[in-house]
Amino acid sequence: LNAGQLLTVAPYLVKRHKQHFHHLEKFDVDLILGCNGFVWVGEHVEARDVMVEDPVNLSDPQVLIPNENSVSLEEQDKNYTALETRNYICRAANAVRVLSTLGFTITLESIKEVIDLSISANLDIHDMFGSEFCVLVAEKEAERRSSSKRNR
């Protein structure tokens, strides 16, 4: 839970899909939509194989084994999340919260739309909970639903 936020929403708001792990490339954020109502929004992490790395030769006396409580500078750099990425994590988490508050189904597309709407409206992250923005999101959802009915 170091580089992200774990949210809980009503489970009926998250529909079952083939893919629940998503990467928002535009924002460099990972998103996991769990059918149980848990939603993880965090910094994008590249998948890597741990077994590829060379094992440390423990018999070599010159190899220093770090204390389990010590943290190297490399590990600190790995754990650092850029401010812009943290802002996008918060913006995506707030988008999930707004959709949950309004009772709308939480999908990858709806989250992207709310994030883009907040950016285009030039809203601060904290202002996403305002009633004006909730009305704007509800209007966009109503517009989307009416246009999808016309296309049928």
Domain span at residue 126 reads: 4-46+78-151
Classify residue 55: in a domain, yes or no: no
Classify residue 65: in a domain, yes or no: no
Q: What share of the chain is helix, strand, coil (3-state, %, to 5)?
A: 45, 15, 40
Classify residue 131: in a domain, yes or no: yes
Give me 44's structure tokens: 């994008």
User: What's this model's pTM, rounded to 2 decimal places?
Assistant: 0.75
Higher pLDDT, 18 or 62: 18
User: Side chain identity at 79, as an amino acid letter?
Assistant: N
Classify residue 101: in a domain, yes or no: yes
pLDDT surpassing 90 at residue 62:
no
Classify residue 52: in a domain, yes or no: no
Classify residue 51: in a domain, yes or no: no
The predicted model gives 9-16 an average pLDDT of 92
Classify residue 12: in a domain, yes or no: yes
pLDDT confidence tier of residue 78, bands split at 50, 70 and 90: low
List, as one string, the DSSP characters of 48-110. Answer: --GGGSPPP-TT-TTPPPPPTT---HHHHHHH---HHHHHHHHHHHHHHHHHHHHT----HHH
pLDDT surpassing 90 at residue 17:
no
pLDDT, the chain, mean: 81
- Count the helices and strands in the chain (H runs, E runs): 4, 4
Count the domains in the chain. Answer: 1
Query: Each residue of 113-125: pLDDT tens digit?
Result: 999 999 999 999 9
Classify residue 114: in a domain, yes or no: yes
